[in-house]
Amino acid sequence: MSRQNVLISATIGLFCLLAVGPAWGFSVNKSISIEAGAQTDGQSSVNGSITIGTGAVVAGSVETVNGAIRIDDDVTVEEASTVNGSIRIGSNLKSEDISSVNGSIRIGTNAAIDGEVSVVNGKIELGKGSTVSRDVSNVNGEISIHGTEIGGDLSTVTGDIWLTDESTLRGDLVIQKPGGWGWGRDRRKPRIVIGPGSRVLGTIQAEREIELFIHETAEVHAVAGEVGLDDAVRFSGDSP
């Protein structure tokens, strides 16, 4: 099953779960606000945003179907997920999976994510000093990784990827081949930039044509698929 189908299946499951109402805090058409410094169980909404204040500890998940999620600094939360909405997170987050279907995800500095960061349609941005133990992925949208260590794979279909500020990718960097009836019109080549001091310890797997830029101080072990290492454009400075 493709990553997109996995996320869509998870979305259906989330909607069904919220429809029947979980045992923890539940709202249908109201937004939820967790105060700074509070300790609480998981919270969920169907049509409402979720806000978590500075230093709060959530011993469970925060979930919504139609709404944004805002998380301030120094928060611990088991998981955060939305279907239609963006996720904005401050610094020093401690969490497991962070996911959205239609909406961007922006995570601040020094986050510790013991799981995955995933979107179908939306941008992903990770701040300096952060760690993600598993995969970071989307289908459509730019991915910007700043000074972050990723333990799994980093993947997209149509999005540009910037791996910068001495980031480390321990898995593969995968640009997946588009599929489906509408993808034939997408002729743009994703732009992949491996910036200063950054490392790809796995393989850059180009299942479609890409534009590949590698900084002269970056470390890339292997490139396979539609492009090779010799096809990469080497550059100096902050960006090509």
Domain shared by 112 and 149, yes or no: no
How do residues 107-153 score in pLDDT, each as one tens digit? Answer: 999 999 999 999 999 999 999 999 999 999 999 999 999 999 999 99
Domain shared by 150 and 56, yes or no: no
Domain assignment of residue 133, yes or no: no
Domain assignment of residue 134, yes or no: no
Alpha-carbon span 28 to 42, nearest angstrom: 15
How do residues 197-225 score in pLDDT, each as one tens digit? Answer: 999 999 999 999 999 999 999 999 999 99
Domain shared by 53 and 164, yes or no: no
Domain shared by 38 and 9, yes or no: yes
Domain shared by 155 and 177, yes or no: yes
Domain shared by 124 and 147, yes or no: no
Domain shared by 160 and 212, yes or no: yes
| Domain hosting residue 78, numbered range | 1-128
Contact 208, 226 (CB under 8 A): yes
* Listed residues 73, 106, 128: the one ending a domain: 128
Total structural domains in the chain?
Answer: 2
Whether 185 shows a pLDDT value over 70: the answer reads no
Domain assignment of residue 135, yes or no: no
Whether 1 shows a pLDDT value over 80: the answer reads no
Look up the pTM and report it.
0.88
Contact 110, 148 (CB under 8 A): no
Domain shared by 45 and 122, yes or no: yes
Under DSSP, the state recorded for 20 is H
Contact 126, 108 (CB under 8 A): no
Quickly list H helices, the chain.
3-20
Domain shared by 123 and 57, yes or no: yes
Alpha-carbon span 177 to 222, nearest angstrom: 19
